[in-house]
Structure 1
Amino acid sequence: MEFHILELQDRYIKFEIKGITPSVANALRRTLINDIPKLAIHKVIFHHGQIRDMEGNVYDSSTPLFDEIIAHRLGLIPLPTDLNMKFRDECDHPPDEGCPLCTVTYTLNKHGPATVYSGDLIPVGDEKFKPVDPLIPIVKLKEHQAILLEAEAIMGTAKEHAKWQVTSGVSYKYHREIKVNKKDSELWEKVKKSCPKNVIKEDDKFIIFTDDIPCKEIAEILSFENPEITEDDSWFIFEFETDGSLKAIDTLEYAIKRLKTRFNTLREHASLG
């Protein structure tokens, strides 16, 4: 098996894997979607009633939205995730109680008129758990309105709820080669000039392109030429992005380790049977 990264950003990765089967490729895709641990808000406690600020002004701790809607929105805010944290049911404490190994506590206290943003969530203890994007709007407060709450974030996976999904746009395709007869047209020269990295092989009669690397001029070859197209079902081009809770490379590394563990467990059970 061969592995190469084609493009890498903090929240995006494109890579190729050679020498695997479609079933293994699909298992990796499903692991990336459903089986990556992530920190997300799971419990919200709202404090209702009148509250006073430091200047003695009185506010009504209520909002234009139902508590359930605000709690749902809080749960979908991407939070930085430490993969060394444990799932709550793995810790040695009662199920409804948390600890620093499995739980991060947040507070939110804001007065109107104002818009409440994700950046108003303050982690208790460690600043590294501040929301990834501070400008996600949660609710608008009118004059004399306020919001006061505490929230608990725990680890989970997307198999349980979408709020624990790290990735989006997880997809793959077969490696594809496009063979063009140079005598058919001179269009290949333009494409070669615009997309030099997409040229795999060339001789006097033919030139072979691949669309593994994005280049819009490749589409012209497919539209106006009569190329010979071949696909390799053991060579896959993957890409996905994350919501920022984890870096793309860390997400991929975890998925590969997780998949290896699951295959080893399956092999052990098969041998015992």
Structure 2
Amino acid sequence: MSTPSADELMRRKKLDVGPETVSNQASTDFPGHWPGENNEWDLDYFKETFKVDFHSHTPNDTSFSLISLDTSVANAFRRILLAEIPTLAIEEVFIYQNTSIIQDEVLAHRLGLIPLCGSHSGLNWMKWYAKPTDDNEGSGNPSDYNTVVLRLDVECKWQEGGLQRAVAGETDPDKLYVNHNVYAKDLKWEPLGKQSEMFPPGEEIRSTNPDILIVKMRPGQSVSLSMYAVKGIGQDHAKFSPVATASYRLMPTIDILKPIVGADAKKFARCFPRGVIKLDSVTSEDVEQHAELESKEGESKAVVDNAMNDTVSRECLRHPEFKDKVKLGRIRDHFIFRIESTGQWNSDQLFLESVKLLRVKCQRIKRGLDEMMK
């Protein structure tokens, strides 16, 4: 069994980005396995090489890297984040009165897309709601453990003296009307059974963003309706997805093969997003290493500062003065994740939940294989 050199391992990891094409993107029939080499799975080796680096974190936005991982596993995390972590969303709307200008169907659709949040333990306590069918009419009965009830009762009226101000030429609706804007904060949760216990104050069912505008009204118009929110996953409908987006990209690489100095260095830096390329001064050590820098000591030279911020636009490859001076690429096993939560879960918790779900899937497959072997 042969052992590849460090240069060969790095070559395998890199995708080469050219002006019009991408090369070295093909994989072997079995990813990570090469003829004549021992590529058997080694848990200790995986523990040594696998890394998770967090770059930025806020409750609703997280960026981190997964390093030395196969594409199939990284993509499994992404798909689980999008489609398999359960959340609450409005499933049914019962409209008693709607005299606004928005049609009933459009109003119900807008309500269904409002992200809701509440206690995580309460969400785990809730069971799945199965809609009744012709075969099992009794299985879809709403109850406190599978359905959350919300109400919306709003009527637009004139403010005191608002009509007179309107006649006088006032046009500001905030000075003329009451309840002319209906927001997500106007949704009122009506706890049933044990729900008040499972969703205590501070973790009650509510909109993640209270300022989502639902409808605009004028005096004499009103909306009265009730809603059923149920537990679901994004695989059933996008409204249940806990993320605004969950994506990853490969780590960019920028290799400066020959020194880029002077005015070319400034132009080279402008070819990339801010912070990717910085300008340093040519030193005596640089002159010793590169004969073409003689008499240029002290001039500006282009240096890679933070390749992760690069969007790989290939702009630098379009300029002839940089021909054969720079090489762009991407590392195929370095995944930069970006998770934007809709608010039900914190963004870092979402990734941990995706890990748990992938583990459950693996255990399910393992049990199935064990049954097949019996």
The alpha-carbon deviation at position 41 of structure 1 amounts to: 0.9
Match of residue 2 from structure 1: 51
Look up the match of 1:70. 107
Q: Distance in 2 between matches of 1:18 and 1:116?
A: 46
| Counterpart for residue 238 of structure 2 | 162
Partner of 2:141 in structure 1? 96
User: Which residue in 1 is equivalent to 2:71?
Assistant: 22
> C-alpha displacement at 1:102, in angstroms?
3.3
- Listed as ranges, the matches of 1:207-226 within 5 Å are 210-212=306-308, 214=309, 225=322, 226=325
Cα distance in 2 for partners of 1:207, 1:269 equals 54
Give RMSD over aligned pairs. Answer: 3.3
Q: Which amino acid aligns with 1:13?
A: T
Report matched runs for 1:173-252 at 5 Å.
173-181=249-257, 183-186=259-262, 187=265, 195=275, 204=286, 210-212=306-308, 214=309, 225=322, 226-252=325-351
Counterpart-to-counterpart distance in 1, 2:221 and 2:235: 37
Name the aligned partner's letter for residue 348 of structure 2: I
1:44-71 Cα shifts (integer Å, max 9, x gaps): 22224xxxxxxxxxxxx53322222211
- Partner residue of 1:38? 87
Deviation at 1:215, TM superposition (A): 6.4
Question: Which amino acid in the other structure matches residue 78 of structure 2?
Answer: R
- Aligned mates of 1:7, 1:266 — CA distance in 2: 34
> 2:53 aligned with 1:11, yes or no?
no
TM-score (norm 2): 0.59
Q: Kindly tell me: are residues 78 and 9 of structure 1, through their superposed partners in 2, closer, same or farther at Cα, counting changes over 3 Å?
A: same
Aligned positions of 1:127-142 closer than 5 A: 128-142=204-218
Percent identical among aligned pairs is 24
Is 2:154 the counterpart of 1:110?
Answer: yes
Deviations 1:7-46 (A, max 9, x none): 1111111111112111111111111111111111112222
Can you give the 5+ residue segments of structure 2 that lack an aligned partner in the other structure? 1-49, 131-137, 158-179, 192-200, 279-284, 290-301
Q: Distance in 1 between matches of 2:68 and 2:105?
A: 48
Name the CA distance, whole Å, in 2 between partners of 1:270 and 1:81. 38
| Alpha-carbon distance between aligned partners in 2 of 1:211 and 1:265, rounded to the nearest angstrom | 40
Encode CA deviations 1:57-92: one digit per residue, 9 max, x unaligned. Answer: xxxx533222222111111011114433233249xx
Moved more, 24-33 or 175-184: 175-184
Query: Structure 1: which 5+ residue stretches go unaligned?
Result: 49-60
1:96-137: CA deviation from partner (whole Å, max 9, x where unpaired): 2121x4332211111115121111101224563221212222
1:121 is aligned, of 163, 187, 193, to 187
Give the number of equivalent residue pairs.
253
Separation in 2, partners of 1:131, 1:223: 48
**1:151 matches 2:227:** yes
Q: Which amino acid aligns with 1:123?
A: W
Q: Distance in 2 between matches of 1:248 and 1:164?
A: 15
Query: What is aligned with 2:27?
Result: none
Q: Which residue of 2 is the match for residue 53 of structure 1?
A: none
- Partner secondary structure for residue 47 of structure 1: strand
**Contact kept in structure 1, 2:155 and 2:220, CA below 8 Å:** yes
Q: How far apart in 1 are the matches of 2:310 and 2:328?
A: 17
Q: Quick one: which amino acid aligns to residue 98 of structure 1?
A: S
Cα distance in 2, alignment partners of residues 89 and 159 from structure 1: 15
Distance 1:136 1:78 in 2: 10
3-state DSSP of counterpart to 2:255 = strand
Q: Check whether the contact 1:177–1:210 (CA below 8 A) recurs between aligned residues.
A: no
**Larger strand percent:** 1
SS in 1 for 2:102: coil
Contact 1:88-1:95 at 8 Å conserved across structures? no
C-alpha separation in 1, matches of 2:243 and 2:369: 31
CA distance in 2, matches of 1:118, 1:89: 24
